[in-house]
Structure 1
């Protein structure tokens, strides 16, 4: 095995593009299993990213990585539920994660700190991590199989190569491999635009709602308010892309005008001062047409992303990364099962994503009462109606539907077939 000037080899079991939550989780869990992993990350952590509010499903992969206690030690704000002004007559209501399953809380956190925590853990577990590194292209063999990537370190002219048995695209919405080998399907019902900023000196929700995320719906969109630390909040407004295109107002003007129409949010911000500029994002909801190919596989936002209404992005990405790490570990032991194993991963991942997406699409009907939304959740996760609809609602938006096929991918039959074929 050759070595670069940085002491990093150029042959690996797995090369991962992207060191965000999905890539770092997959890298850490593969390294934990003794696999040789390289992570190529474009930025240097800590780096800014939106998505400060997490849901309890993220605790499953964080537990596997051994990070749950450290999240408390680092002072991340625990999140026990959510408060909504949503539905017919705009009646406030709330939910508690205690009803949803194994994990009774998640966290609000600055993503720069959270993402750096996972990436550093991947390093501790043995993954090689190269930051400020741009992937330029894939390397294919004579049969068209992806066998590695070419990359360039910031400030250096040389383009280097790294080869691996599998290449994982965890590059987020940059979609490095997804753009080359697949396409995306945009979900028209969720073609939205978001504009957000940060405020200091904010008030908090009262009593047991103190650490809740606030989601306040209006006629044309909705606001999030996420308490990050002390009096600081992330506040964003989401609306249909065509609504913004049909007005002469800027996104910032729309944000400020709509904020004045809120009830609970306006109260939280009555003494606040804006602490940063505005940021925007468009067309957040899509699904890749392919999640894998010959020698490559997608995970996280490179594969699919759904509207941020219930803060599912990080949890979905890290859960999928956890499952993918297990699948890849099996593939490396039994290379002949690669295509079937990745097919099962892809099918289960798409199904889990679609379950959340369909719920979000139907939840956008703000003409209903909360019991209607509870019933929607029950249809998806508990069609036999074994639990109360309110419990099913919390289970779904916690991302903890443990009965889903994503958490039960069984490769024993294809492993056995592979061993039988090898011995015969």
Structure 2
């Protein structure tokens, strides 16, 4: 048996492993990185619908052009049948009137920074794994880890044993093996299921299904259609191939006492929009199933190991967050190892923030999914199930209560300095809540004109920012489970609120600051987002809103129809 030594050994050649490996080699070419993949690529995999945040990471990895050249459909948004009304509605990443017909392949600039891909994972994952190899990673396919040597007392992985008979020794080990969690299981890391969302997924691939929408050159929307007892996804992956799946609660699946094939076919036949799109299409004829249970690992990092991607946790796919969580965790794991090598930051601080970041994001997306299921009036056969989800989560379904519940730290976690969860800013979120509840969704800052910074009981802590291969420290305020990062719009607001509490002066100072940073056509958009950040700060208790009866009040309302969220057209 031969022994081989590496700096980093990565178990899993999917997007988690290839992203980690590529970024390690990009920023430190001297690292010896091994990626072990038990299967032979290409191979199919679910998780095809992306969010725009991934595109920035693909560009950083240097593989945007390769992915774009594959001619995957451009995801400009989603069409839903979801909420109290059965009427269709759209969520777009950018106003459609701004989406221009552009030739492909295109560069990562302009409107392509606001859109995402719908990817055929058999092609996408192969592109990323080959790209990691092109960047200097040693990649071995059809190579399984058969045994892991660990020292639980020191919390260390010692070595990996392969089906080839080799023993692999490394200074760092990455578990990018997906829900199987090769290292997680051997290390005895427990997982929790912080939700009633325990679903099963049934899917197949279809040839020559029609696209529901054709927007510009290569643009379309994913279709998410509710049924009485679950929902259907419809994701075009290319000119002729489409992924179509059905999700329902595992408990309901057991009660049906039917074969997965029968449940799947009945679901598709019962949805008129999907039935029409596949009228002239042919299925592959190979039904696949999996558990779709949200979970979270209790520990994500150890002395010399990291859990990355789905080995760390999983959130229900209703909001297509899975691949984003995977790519972001892979980037942050790579950056953490790069900084450990630099020895300029406290190792404990680096590792703790890696773990905290992933846990916060996964928990928040699980909470978001809880809300979507609990508020869906189209689940007519699952109403008790929906009520139980809300009860267990402590969720009240009025727009105001739901917004406060969702914004408990959530709007400050996805992208530091901005207010966003899974592509939804507070305005979009309030519009969704109006549709779900069929009630107006008010603004906590509306009707007030005095906004006082409230840092009582807050502590200052350093937060990591991951940029250009390095981790930089920024200040933040922390209070209980809430954190306020002093960067982006939040930093600008804190600075202004330290000078004045009057909304007219706040607005004037904001506009002056933003005018110096943004072009004229983007200044108003930035100002609107800054007000949304102020809404989050009030909702989370960082700012107290009051009224001076002698001064005009801030007046905001939530439109039913907007540029991004509106009735389907």
User: Shorter-chain TM-score category?
Assistant: 0.7 to 0.9
> Which of 300, 308, 317 is residue 308 of structure 1 equivalent to?
317
Q: Is 1:253 matched up with 2:283?
A: no
Aligned to 1:131: 141
Aligned to 2:185: 179
Aligned to 1:205: 212
Aligned to 2:132: 122
**Counterpart Cα distance in 1 of 2:80 and 2:464:** 29
Matches within 5 A, 1:67-216: 67-98=63-94, 103-140=113-150, 144-153=154-163, 156=164, 158=165, 160-181=166-187, 182-208=189-215, 211-216=220-225
- What is the CA-CA distance between 1:149 and the residue it aligns to? 2.4
Aligned to 2:558: none
Aligned to 2:61: 65
Check 1:47–1:273 CA distance in 2 against 1; reply closer, same or farther (3 A cut): closer
- What is the CA-CA distance between 1:336 and the residue it aligns to? 8.3
Aligned to 1:381: 411
2:465–2:473 CA contact under 8 A, matched in 1 = no
Asked which structure has the greater RCO (Cα within 8 Å, sep 6+), the reply is: 1
**Counterpart Cα distance in 2 of 1:287 and 1:297:** 14
3-state secondary structure, aligned to 1:235: strand
Bigger drift between 207-216 and 289-298 goes to 207-216
> Which of 9, 12, 35 is residue 6 of structure 2 equivalent to?
12
Q: Is 1:46 matched up with 2:61?
A: no
TM-score (norm 2): 0.63
Q: Is 1:286 matched up with 2:295?
A: yes
Q: Is 1:217 matched up with 2:226?
A: yes
Check 1:388–1:306 CA distance in 2 against 1; reply closer, same or farther (3 A cut): closer
Aligned to 1:327: 336
**Counterpart Cα distance in 2 of 1:148 and 1:121:** 28
Check 1:143–1:356 CA distance in 2 against 1; reply closer, same or farther (3 A cut): closer
**Counterpart Cα distance in 2 of 1:324 and 1:25:** 10
Check 1:331–1:262 CA distance in 2 against 1; reply closer, same or farther (3 A cut): same
Check 1:166–1:393 CA distance in 2 against 1; reply closer, same or farther (3 A cut): farther
**Counterpart Cα distance in 2 of 1:255 and 1:361:** 24
> Which of 20, 25, 28 is residue 31 of structure 1 equivalent to?
25
1:99–1:391 CA contact under 8 A, matched in 2 = no
- What is the CA-CA distance between 1:103 and the residue it aligns to? 2.5
Aligned to 1:390: 428
2:19–2:128 CA contact under 8 A, matched in 1 = yes
3-state secondary structure, aligned to 1:123: helix
- What is the CA-CA distance between 1:178 and the residue it aligns to? 0.9
Bigger drift between 351-360 and 328-337 goes to 328-337
1:359–1:376 CA contact under 8 A, matched in 2 = no
Aligned to 1:274: 283
Q: Which runs of 5+ in 1 are unaligned?
A: 395-404, 414-424
TM-score (norm 1): 0.83
Bigger drift between 51-60 and 211-220 goes to 51-60
3-state secondary structure, aligned to 1:354: helix
- What is the CA-CA distance between 1:99 and the residue it aligns to? 6.2
Aligned residues: 392
**Counterpart Cα distance in 1 of 2:426 and 2:180:** 41
**Counterpart Cα distance in 2 of 1:249 and 1:358:** 31
> Which of 350, 364, 374 is residue 359 of structure 2 equivalent to?
350
Check 1:283–1:83 CA distance in 2 against 1; reply closer, same or farther (3 A cut): closer
1:146–1:167 CA contact under 8 A, matched in 2 = no
- Encode CA deviations 1:311-355: one digit per residue, 9 max, x unaligned: 221221011111111111011222983333111110111101111
Q: Which runs of 5+ in 2 are unaligned?
A: 97-110, 379-396, 433-462, 475-569
Q: In angstroms, what is the RMSD of aligned CA positions? A: 3.2
- What is the CA-CA distance between 1:231 and the residue it aligns to? 3.4
1:349–1:406 CA contact under 8 A, matched in 2 = no
Larger Rg: 2
Bigger drift between 335-344 and 189-198 goes to 335-344
